[in-house]
Structure 1
Amino acid sequence: MTGAGERVVAGPFRVAHAAAWCVRRVTGAAAELLRERGTDPGPVSVDLLHAVESFRSERHLLVDGASPGPVWAPLSGDYGAADGWVRLHCNHPHHEAAARSVLGDDVAAGVLRRPAEQVADLVLAAGGAAAALRPAARWRGHPQGVAVAAEPLVAVDRVGDGSARPLPRADRPLAGVRVLDLTHVIAGPVCGRTLAAHGADVLHVGAAHLPTAHPLAVDTGFGKRTTHLDLRAEENRAVLRALLADGDVLVQSFRPDSLAAKGFGERDLPPGAILVSLSAYGHSGPWRTRRGFDSLVQLATGIAAGADEPVPLPAQALDHGTGWLAAFGVITALRRRAVEGGTWHVRVSLARTAHWLDGLGRIDSTEHGGPVDAYLSEVDSAFGRLRHVRVPGGLPGSPPRWDSAPRTPGADPAQWW
């Protein structure tokens, strides 16, 4: 691992180590798959600073030299409650409406009148997104914290039969692998973006009626095509089933059981398919279906617990880390399927990534303050000239790269190349 040492981002958590570890795991797995496909991968390397800045890729994105817009909506943020702190996630209009329906127009005053956990419970019950800050020790004793700790960091489980699918010789690890990306915000899209960097054909499936965070959609859109399918209609679900039948991987970040209710759960997979499920709070326990995002999970698990107020991580590390871990799970499942066959389910979660990060120990760290230009590139796109962070991870036999710039959502037909 090359770079400037581990003390390169502010805060007590080993975020730099985590970023480099995730990049190395994926790049190493890609190297082994490339070797199995008949191409010498060469020695794998990871530049620590590059890995860290890739975990903050949305901060580096420029469109025609300017920021593409704020990532956070005005109402999103930390609020003092009667007995602690609450974070509201209001980036989507329906989440903002839910918060206002409970707290009134003066949201800060509405929070301050109530205990933190009551605020979070009320907002969630109204269909919003919120979390109360709790100490890490209290989270570890919480029923959901106990459940998450018992889950693997990356679960790769055989859930059905299927013939072995050896991958033919190729000069890229994921050449010919077809991936359906039914995800949003950061973690799931980072998984798809990472798979695309190693040669997968990634088709992002969204819908015009679903809310989109434009800067994040652009930042995570590299290497993908994008189509719209409103899965509320049976004819569109039939199109998705046909795509999956001819594909390899379906990556989804809907809340647990949501996509299964539309006919795309573990039991609905065609033989040999690989399903990837990303969740906020884990895949077991009383909170398994709870709505959540990186910033909320940081508060709920105690990662953001400061001396007097919440202190966020120096990157959306739970999101980015979970996305890279999901990509590692995909490559692992592909390698196993090539030899033993089977249908596979990969599971990761932000809360389990938080548990892993918490277990890495603490350091006294500050920002490196050094130049990052060496990790940036520019490309023309449908949105304008983009400045972005290149893919981290050295793989001489097949350097990771994106073959296309982000595209306008819904611009492509719902079909494979």
Structure 2
Amino acid sequence: MSASAALTGLWQLAGLPEDALRLVDLTGRDPVLPSSFAVGTAAQSTIAAAALAACELGHLRGVPRQRVAVDMSHAALECTGWFSVDGRTPELWDPFSGLYRCSDGWVRVHANFRHHRDGALRLLGLDPATATRQDAERAMAGWRAIDFESAAAGRALVATALRGFEQWDATPQGQAIAAQPLFRIDRIGDAPALPLAPLSTSQRPLEGVRVLDLTRILAGPVGGKALAAYGADVMLVNSPRLPNIEAIADTSRGKRSALLELRSPEGRAAMDALLADAHVFIQGYRPGGMQALGLGPDALAARRPGIVCVSLSAYGTAGPWADRRGFDSLVQTAMGFNVAEAEAAGDSKPRALPMQILDEASGYLIALGAAAALRRQQREGGSWHVQVALAQTGQWLRSLGRVKDGFAAVRPSHAPYVEESDSGFGRLQAIRHSAQLGRTPARYDRASVPPGTDPPSWT
């Protein structure tokens, strides 16, 4: 599928005016990174959709439409998430993360958070204080892959057995995912339109939009970062009890960053004050986590009528895995991508996609859905709920088709697309945003800062 056709499908699913598609310029073609999947098309089309949807909201607010241009190489490299701090490129994976051979196949373990790593090691009968990677490999060799996957899920850990496409498609969860649309935008309550001020032609399309970003890891933070690039005032809210990964230095560009303990009366009061003036609430925690804190979509719509809620999950809202935690690398493994890539490359060992494209594309779908729902809110009133899932993004990536001779591609240099800035983490180099807006260029007005740098207040 061409990037133009992929973009048209996203645009129609979002319910946006088709005449706006005449203002998009897409350059380049797959393969741009070594893969048998159209990862460049996925990156380019989701980024273009997010940017163009933001511009459509700007057009509704009284300014002319503007052209949006996205180059595929730039988009794909942006979706690799490359960055450095003070000249150091961080290691993305914990030594215990990755593939393990089992007695009948493979399992992928996600161990970037200590509690997940230690839990997996204890499940293997090992002491987290003394275990080595070799110890874990020897212990895993005695397990059947599905047994370890099930045991890990029972302990709220994150590990998946390796499957091929046919195996995944035969599972109840694979069938549930196949029956769902890529994303949903649903009206969840009645409310008047929350007025957004008219724009001048020099203002970016989302200026005046206030976004609460309660996400971690990659997909959710990427969505909030995109909205910030188009002018939204994005407040990243983290818990003081939970760890983050080093990618927060990149994904926090353009955002305020506050800490709130939502289990305390003071934290809840601060969140109530933020909600009173927010237009969008994005959350990417485990299924049911926000509901337990009184911050589920229905509760938010009751407290802040007219809010746009965005929920991110790993495996969607239907099927036996709907409540499971998950990350991009695990979803790739479970759904069949690692097997398919290995077969296409002629490898005997399972092979991952060249970037966390399920995370990255899902992040731009979050931005697309938020902007599209905000446009409906301005036109129709109501409160809205956008739902995005990594596995549904994976199903869509499959639908884009395979790339012949994709592994012949040589990764292009990211140097032409790097921007450098001071940040609260050190001197930051990262890929500038790949969507070029014709009249109001995308940019990050706020420097990336650690959690807790800003007070939990819009003023």
* DSSP-derived class of the 2:192 partner: coil
1:205 matched to 2:237: yes
1:43 matched to 2:70: no
Distance 1:196 1:161, change over 3 A: same
Which residue pairs with 2:198 in the alignment?
169
Which residue pairs with 1:237 in the alignment?
268
- Map Cα deviations across residues 97-124 of structure 1 (whole Å, 9 max, x no partner): 1101111332112211011011111122
1:100 matched to 2:121: yes
Indicate if the aligned counterparts of 1:54 and 1:391 stay in contact, CA closer than 8 A: yes
1:395 matched to 2:437: yes
* DSSP-derived class of the 2:323 partner: coil
Which residue pairs with 1:345 in the alignment?
385
Indicate if the aligned counterparts of 2:29 and 2:41 stay in contact, CA closer than 8 A: no
* DSSP-derived class of the 1:304 partner: helix
Which residue pairs with 1:263 in the alignment?
294
- Map Cα deviations across residues 295-350 of structure 1 (whole Å, 9 max, x no partner): 00001111111343321001100000000001100000000000100000000000
Per mean C-alpha deviation after superposition, the further-off stretch among 88-97 and 105-114 is 105-114
1:29 matched to 2:53: yes
Tell me how far 1:27 sits from its aligned partner: 1.6
Unaligned runs of 5+ in 1: none
Q: In structure 2, what is the Cα distance between the partners aligned to 1:74 and 1:110?
A: 16
Matched ranges for 1:84-163 at <5 A:
84-105=105-126, 106-163=135-192
Identity %: 44
Q: In structure 2, what is the Cα distance between the partners aligned to 1:368 and 1:114?
A: 38
Q: In structure 2, what is the Cα distance between the partners aligned to 1:302 and 1:369?
A: 23
Matched ranges for 1:263-342 at <5 A:
263-269=294-300, 270-305=304-339, 306-307=342-343, 308-342=348-382
What count of residue pairs does the alignment treat as equivalent?
A: 413
Indicate if the aligned counterparts of 1:99 and 1:126 stay in contact, CA closer than 8 A: no
Indicate if the aligned counterparts of 2:414 and 2:431 stay in contact, CA closer than 8 A: no
Q: Please, which of 382, 385, 398 is the counterpart of residue 427 of structure 2?
A: 385
Tell me how far 1:164 sits from its aligned partner: 1.8
Indicate if the aligned counterparts of 1:304 and 1:310 stay in contact, CA closer than 8 A: yes
Q: In structure 2, what is the Cα distance between the partners aligned to 1:217 and 1:274?
A: 24
Tell me how far 1:374 sits from its aligned partner: 2.0
Indicate if the aligned counterparts of 2:310 and 2:386 stay in contact, CA closer than 8 A: yes
Letter of the 1:325 counterpart? L
Q: In structure 1, what is the Cα distance between the partners aligned to 2:447 and 2:350?
A: 36
- Map Cα deviations across residues 256-291 of structure 1 (whole Å, 9 max, x no partner): 111101100122012101111000011111111101
* DSSP-derived class of the 1:289 partner: coil
Tell me how far 1:244 sits from its aligned partner: 1.1
Letter of the 2:263 counterpart? R
Tell me how far 1:165 sits from its aligned partner: 2.9
Indicate if the aligned counterparts of 2:186 and 2:385 stay in contact, CA closer than 8 A: yes
Q: In structure 1, what is the Cα distance between the partners aligned to 2:47 and 2:410?
A: 19
Which residue pairs with 2:103 in the alignment?
82
Per mean C-alpha deviation after superposition, the further-off stretch among 233-242 and 125-134 is 233-242
Per mean C-alpha deviation after superposition, the further-off stretch among 254-263 and 318-327 is 254-263
Which residue pairs with 2:398 in the alignment?
358
Tell me how far 1:3 sits from its aligned partner: 4.2
Tell me how far 1:230 sits from its aligned partner: 1.3
Indicate if the aligned counterparts of 1:166 and 1:337 stay in contact, CA closer than 8 A: no
Q: In structure 2, what is the Cα distance between the partners aligned to 1:271 and 1:379?
A: 38
CA RMSD of aligned residues (A): 1.3
Tell me how far 1:38 sits from its aligned partner: 2.2
Which residue pairs with 1:247 in the alignment?
278
Unaligned runs of 5+ in 2: 1-24, 127-134
Indicate if the aligned counterparts of 1:154 and 1:347 stay in contact, CA closer than 8 A: yes
- After TM superposition, the score normalised by the length of structure 1 is 0.96
Indicate if the aligned counterparts of 1:129 and 1:291 stay in contact, CA closer than 8 A: yes
- Map Cα deviations across residues 35-91 of structure 1 (whole Å, 9 max, x no partner): 22222342221111111011012x2x1112222x21111100100011111000011
